[in-house]
Amino acid sequence: MANAIKGMKIRGAPLLGAAAALALAQTAYKSHAKTNEQLFDELEKTASLIRSTRPTAVNLFNAIDTILNTVREHSGDVKEKERFLIKKALEFVDNDAEMNFTISENGARLINDGDVVLTHCNAGELATVEYGTALGIVKIAHKQGKKITVFATETRPLLQGARLTAFELVRENIPVTLITDSMVGYVMERRMVDLVMVGADRILQSGHVINKIGTYTIAVLAKENHIPFYVAAPTTTFDMKSSVEQVVIEERAQEEILKIFNKPIAPEGVRALNPAFDITPPELVTGLVTEKGVISATPDQIKKIAVD
Amino acid sequence: MANAIKGMKIRGAPLLGAAAALALAQTAYKSHAKTNEQLFDELEKTASLIRSTRPTAVNLFNAIDTILNTVREHSGDVKEKERFLIKKALEFVDNDAEMNFTISENGARLINDGDVVLTHCNAGELATVEYGTALGIVKIAHKQGKKITVFATETRPLLQGARLTAFELVRENIPVTLITDSMVGYVMERRMVDLVMVGADRILQSGHVINKIGTYTIAVLAKENHIPFYVAAPTTTFDMKSSVEQVVIEERAQEEILKIFNKPIAPEGVRALNPAFDITPPELVTGLVTEKGVISATPDQIKKIAVD
């Protein structure tokens, strides 16, 4: 599981949370522990391996903490605790699908018939257990009979927009136009976009949104062009502890930029910078679409709906 | 020549002007015209073929108009006119190199020791007859002993930043870091950039700058982050006739986006939008660096230095 996460065979903040939960379930299932101490030693080993994979999406850390805390408080013996953990992990996974469905319904109210939605990276089924967040909203609006079209940014370096978002939308017969990341300004300035809807890898109590590199750029352009900028994410994406200075932005291998399809695009001797995420300040966010409703990106409103 | 321009084997606004001039020279050189009328028929045929290649870079149109007007006013016979045209075309080409050298010297004064310059696409030797505009400035500043480093955007879809700008800078031993177009906001927001220096394909009398797609996005981000945004271009790039509404933005083939190295990056059924340029309004431009000095992007100042 750790390798699959590191290599991005599993990606998307909500799906990383589910993967972390299932990694713990797998450890419990295979465990031969005789005592609670032995069991928690094994679980902590799994937990620290999974925690070391990718530093930015908080769902991964939240999933581990939630499940381990619940199991710690369970009063049963080792075998009972193992069964309880597996049950809780599966509930966590199912819960993600349910939350996304509710997010999609809540967000679909923001979309009008005929709207053109711009999205970045992939916040669809392929980033979650089911439905998706930003793309779930688009799909529900489409099912409601609203004529929606989508601009998908290709999302360099790993092209999740071209490979995943475009794939999901074509399959649902939702018209999608691919643009390079450099064309966001152009389509906004020409009034070709009605709103932006993206996902999130982490939302701080301060309202800062950490999401795929390029999100901040889109948010600044949306503000300049008076276009609403929404972020769709479950409350499992909230990080109520970290300040913006404490957030670690994952830097990935230079090769992801310097090569495409394993072929170099730049001469030797060129280095590349490859931050996987950026941080959008709350003043650029029109609203957060969560399973508990649409709120402003303010500490008060975030605190009110955060899980304890 | 027309095929080379269309296929972007020759690209970059100043180099397109030079190519247009040389296409006319070639026509004059090969001409068997007996009368002025026959000669101008041939020249107009070449001119309209070249004019039909790419609609946005104004240098191409300016070069043709300048040379044909000069030759029309020449009082000699057909053979003398042909020789005169060839001489004028070669002067036009040499003049581009001279202008770029002066632009580079003028712009280098804006760069301080230790500055980090962000540039987009390629405005170097490979886009001009010699020296380059935005990159010429960087190179002269480097030769002056200033320790300059450069962020080059890869510039999707055609990757001129990765292929051309990175190549030119590595060759001059100027440290260059490649980023995807989506990372401009990140490096600006983290105060990793001191100024932006880009070229231009056309500058209107109103001060609007038409340049490679993605330039407008960079200008908006620079304003948001209080980073100076300079445009370097010779006065042959000025368009004193068109209003911003009249500018035709070239749309290129969808395949340039949908495929990389001839391999599809998106599923079938996805369409792409591929505008080659965007328009940056004057209020986002800190200054225009020309061969006649650094000016503000205002109608008054542009008119003052424009060629009649």
pLDDT digits (tens, 9 = 90+) for A203-219: 999 999 999 999 999 99
Residue B244 banded pLDDT, cuts 50, 70, 90: very high
Find which of A165, A189, A217 to mutate to test the B interface (most B CBs within 10 Å of its CB): A217
Minimum Cα–Cα distance from B176: chain A residue: A270
- Residues ≥6 apart with Cβ < 8 Å to B149: B115, B116, B117, B174, B175, B176, B177
- Cβ atoms within 10 Å of A86's Cβ, excluding its own: 20
CA A69 to chain centre: 23
Q: Which of A212, A266, A126 is CA-nearest to residue B267? A: A126
Tell me which H or E stretch contains B5.
helix B2-6
Contact A85, A28 (CB under 8 A): yes
Q: Closest to B261 (Cβ–Cβ): which among A258, A263, A266? A: A263
Q: Is A117 in contact with A151 (CB distance < 8 Å)?
A: yes
**Token code pair at residue B191:** 């105060």
pTM of the model: 0.94
Which of B217, B249, B261 is the best residue to mutate to test the A interface, defined by the most A CB atoms within 10 Å of its own CB?
Answer: B217
Check if A119 contacts B (Cβ < 8 Å). Answer: no
Query: B121: which strand partners?
Result: none
| Whether A163 contacts A126, CB under 8 Å | no
B224 and chain A in contact, CB less than 8 A: yes
Identify whether the C-beta of residue B87 lies closer than 8 Å to the C-beta of residue B119.
no
Nearest CB to B220 within list A180, A224, A268: A224
Q: A178 in contact with B at a CB cutoff of 8 Å?
A: yes
Name the percent of chain A lying above pLDDT 90.
96
DSSP string, B240-272: SS--GGGPPPPB--THHHHEETTEESS-TT-EE
- For residue B129, which of B92, B155, B156 has the smallest C-alpha distance? B92
Q: Which residues in chain B are closer than 8 Å to A152, comparing Cβ atoms?
A: 270
Buried b (16+ CB within 10 A) or exposed e, B128-160: bbbbbbbbbbbbbbbeeeeebbbbbbbbbbbbb
Q: Are the C-beta atoms of A229 and A295 separated by less than 8 Å?
A: no
Residue from B81, B93, B87 nearest B36 by CA: B81
Q: For residue A57, what pLDDT is reported? A: 84
CA–CA min distance A73, chain B (Å): 42
When CB atoms are compared, the residue of A189, A216, A258 closest to B189 is A216
Q: Give B62-68's long-range contacts (Cβ < 8 A, gap of 24+).
A: B62/B17, B62/B236, B62/B237, B62/B238, B62/B239, B63/B16, B63/B17, B63/B18, B63/B20, B63/B21, B63/B92, B63/B236, B64/B20, B64/B21, B64/B24, B66/B92, B67/B21, B67/B24, B67/B92, B68/B24, B68/B40, B68/B43, B68/B44
Q: Percent of chain B, pLDDT > 90?
A: 95
> Is B186 in Cβ contact with A266 (below 8 Å)?
no
Cβ atoms of B179 and A257 closer than 8 Å: yes
Determine whether A77 is an active site residue: no
Strands across the sheet with B238-239, in order?
B238-239, B202-204, B209-212, B277-280
pLDDT of B57: 84
The per-residue pLDDT for B91 is: 96
- SS3 for A149? strand
A150-199: per-residue pLDDT in tens?
999 999 999 999 999 999 999 999 999 999 999 999 999 999 999 999 99
What is the predicted pLDDT for the residue at B172? 96
* Calpha distance B93→B71 (Å, rounded): 16
B301 touching A, CB under 8 A? no
Give the residue-averaged pLDDT of A3-12.
93
Q: Across all residues in chain B, what is the average pLDDT?
A: 96
CB spacing of A278 vs B186 below 8 angstroms: yes
The three-point CA angle A34-A36-A37 to 5° equals 95
Name residues whose C-beta falls within 8 Å of residue B282's C-beta, 6 or more positions apart in sequence: B206, B207, B208, B209, B297, B298
**Interfacial A residues in 233-292 facing B (CB < 8 Å):** 257-258, 260-261, 263, 265-273, 275, 278-279
Cβ distance of B154 and A265 shorter than 8 Å: yes
Q: H or E element: which one contains B238?
A: strand B238-239
Task: Please check whether residue B178 is in contact with residue B166, taking contact to mean a CB–CB distance below 8 angstroms.
Answer: yes
Burial (0-12, 13-18, 19+ Cβ within 10 Å), A299: middle
Amino acid A162: pLDDT: 97
Strand partners, A229: A196
Look at residue A307 in the predicted model and tell me its pLDDT: 76
DSSP assignment letter at B191: T
**Residues of chain A with C-beta less than 8 angstroms from the C-beta of B182:** 153, 155-156, 181, 213-214, 217
Give mean pLDDT, residues B70-89. 95
Q: Does A97 touch chain B (CB under 8 A)?
A: no
Q: What is the mean pLDDT of residues A55-80?
A: 93
pLDDT at position B307 over 90: no
Mean residue pLDDT of chain A comes to 96
Q: What does the block give as tokens for B122?
A: 């390629």
**What does the alpha-carbon distance between residue B21 and residue B73 come to, in Å, rounded to a whole number?**
17
Q: Could you tell me the pLDDT band of residue A87, with boundaries at 50, 70 and 90?
A: very high
CA distance A217 to chain B (A): 5
> What is the pLDDT at residue A308?
58
Radius of gyration of chain A (CA): 20
Find how far residue A63's CA is from the centre of its chain.
13
d(CA A172, CA B244): 39
Residue B278 and residue A153: Cβ atoms within 8 Å? no
Are residues B163 and A260, on separate chains, in Cβ contact within 8 Å? no
Structure tokens belonging to residue B93: 């080409």
Q: Is A180 on the interface with B (CB under 8 A)?
A: yes
Mutate to test the interface with A, among B153, B183, B188 (most CBs of A within 10 A): B183
User: CA-CA distance, B27 to A71, in Å (whole number)?
Assistant: 84
CA dist A201 and A210 (Å) reads 6
Which amino acid type is present at position B167?
Answer: F
pLDDT digits (tens, 9 = 90+) for B200-214: 999 999 999 999 999
Portion 182-211 of B in contact with A at CB < 8 A: 182-187, 189
Which of A68, A243, A224 has its CA nearest to residue B220?
A224
Mean pLDDT is lowest, of A220-229, B122-131, B242-251, for: B122-131
Beta bridge partners of A106: none
Question: Which residues of B are known catalytic residues?
Answer: 201
Which residues in A lie closer than 8 A to residue B220 (C-beta atoms)? 185, 220-221, 224
Interface test with chain B among A165, A169, A180, by most B beta carbons within 10 Å: A180
The pLDDT value recorded for residue B308 is 58
Buried b or exposed e, range B178-216, using 16+ CB within 10 angstroms: bbbbbbbbbbbbeeebbbbbbbbbbbbbbbbbbbbbbbb
Beta strand residue intervals within chain A, DSSP E: 116-119, 149-153, 176-179, 195-198, 202-204, 209-212, 229-232, 238-239, 259-260, 263-264, 271-272, 277-280, 287-290, 293-295
Give A214's contacts in chain B (Cβ within 8 Å): 180, 182-183, 185
CA distance A236 to chain B (A): 25
Residues of B in contact with A180 (CB under 8 A): 156-157, 181, 213-214, 257
Q: Which of B260, B261, B273 sits opposite A179 (nearest CB)?
A: B273
Contact B273 A187 (CB under 8 A): yes
